[in-house]
Structure 1
Amino acid sequence: MANGKSMTVGEMVGLFLKDDAPVRVDAFDGSHFGAADAALKVRITSPNCMYQLLAHPNEIGIVRAYVLGDFDVEGIDYADPYPAMRAMVSMAKYVKPVTPVSMARVTAGILSHGFRRPPVPATEGPSKFARIKEGLLPHTEKADSETVSFHYDMSNEFYADFLGPSMTYTCAVFENEDMSLEDAQANKLRLILDKLGLQPGQRLLDIGCGWGSMVIAAARRGVRALGVTLSKEQAAYANEWIEREGLADLAEVRVQDYREVPERDFDGISSIGMMEHVGVKNYRSYFEEMFKLLKPMGRLLNHQITISHDKPDGKPGTDEFLDRYIFPDGDLGAPGFIESCIHDAGFNVVHQENLRQHYALTLHHWNHNLSEHWEDAVRQVGFERAKVWGLYMAACALNFELDGIQIHQFLAVRPDRAGHPDGKWYPLRPWWKA
Structure 2
Amino acid sequence: MRARIARLIVDRMLDQVPVRAVYPDGTVRGRGGPELRIVRPDAMFERIARSPKIGLGEAYQAGDWTAGEGTDLGELLTPFAARVAQLVPRPLLKFRRLVDERMPRRQRNTPTGARSNISAHYDLSNALFAAFLDPGMTYSSALFEYAGQDLEEAQRHKVERILDQAGVGAGTRLLEIGIGWGALAITAARRGAQVTGITLSTEQLQLAQKRVADAGLTNRVDLRLQDYRAVTGSYDAIVSVEMIEAVGAEYWPEYFRALDRLLAPGGSVALQAILMDHERMLATRNSYGWIQKYIFPGGLIPSRTAIDETLAHYTGLVVEDDHRFGADYAETLRRWRRNFDTNWPAIRAEGFDETFRRTWEFYLAYSEAGFASGYLDVGQLRLIAKDQLSGSENIESTTRSLPGASAR
TM-score (norm 1): 0.76
Q: Which residue is equivalent to 1:280?
A: 249
- Structure 1 position 310, deviation (Å): 2.5
Q: Which residue is equivalent to 2:401?
A: none
Is residue 384 of structure 2 the alignment partner of residue 384 of structure 1? no
- Structure 1 position 391, deviation (Å): 1.1
Root-mean-square deviation (Å):
3.5
| Structure 1 residue corresponding to 2:186, chosen from 216, 220, 232 | 216
Residue 173 of structure 1: SS of its match in structure 2? coil
Q: Which residue is equivalent to 2:263?
A: 294
- Structure 1 position 75, deviation (Å): 2.4
Q: Which runs of 5+ in 1 are unaligned?
A: 2-6, 101-126, 421-434
| Structure 1 residue corresponding to 2:212, chosen from 224, 233, 242 | 242
Q: Which residue is equivalent to 2:54?
A: 60
Q: Which residue is equivalent to 2:374?
A: 403
Alignment check: 8 A CA contact 2:133 2:339 kept? yes
Change (3 A) 1:318 1:14: closer
| Greater share of residues in helix | 2
Residue 327 of structure 1: SS of its match in structure 2? coil
Once the two structures are superposed, residues 210-254 of structure 1 have per-residue CA deviations (whole angstroms, 9 ceiling, x without a partner) of 111111111111211111010000001100111111111111221
Amino acid at match of 1:55: R
Amino acid at match of 2:75: P
Change (3 A) 1:145 1:363: same
| Structure 2 residue corresponding to 1:81, chosen from 65, 73, 87 | 73
CA–CA distance in structure 1, aligned partners of residues 55 and 152 of structure 2 = 36
Change (3 A) 1:153 1:187: same
Amino acid at match of 1:287: F
Q: Which residue is equivalent to 1:25?
A: 22
Is residue 305 of structure 2 the alignment partner of residue 305 of structure 1? no
CA–CA distance in structure 2, aligned partners of residues 411 and 91 of structure 1 = 31
| Structure 2 residue corresponding to 1:325, chosen from 275, 281, 294 | 294
- Structure 1 position 73, deviation (Å): 2.9
- Structure 1 position 327, deviation (Å): 1.1
CA–CA distance in structure 2, aligned partners of residues 256 and 19 of structure 1 = 48
TM-score (norm 2): 0.81
Q: Which residue is equivalent to 2:322?
A: 352
Alignment check: 8 A CA contact 1:205 1:225 kept? yes
Alignment check: 8 A CA contact 2:131 2:339 kept? yes
Report the identity percentage.
28
| Structure 1 residue corresponding to 2:171, chosen from 196, 201, 220 | 201
Structure possessing the higher radius of gyration over alpha carbons: 1
Is residue 334 of structure 2 the alignment partner of residue 364 of structure 1? yes
Alignment check: 8 A CA contact 1:226 1:251 kept? yes
Q: How many residues align?
A: 374
- Structure 1 position 144, deviation (Å): 0.5
CA–CA distance in structure 2, aligned partners of residues 20 and 251 of structure 1 = 51
- Structure 1 position 46, deviation (Å): 6.8
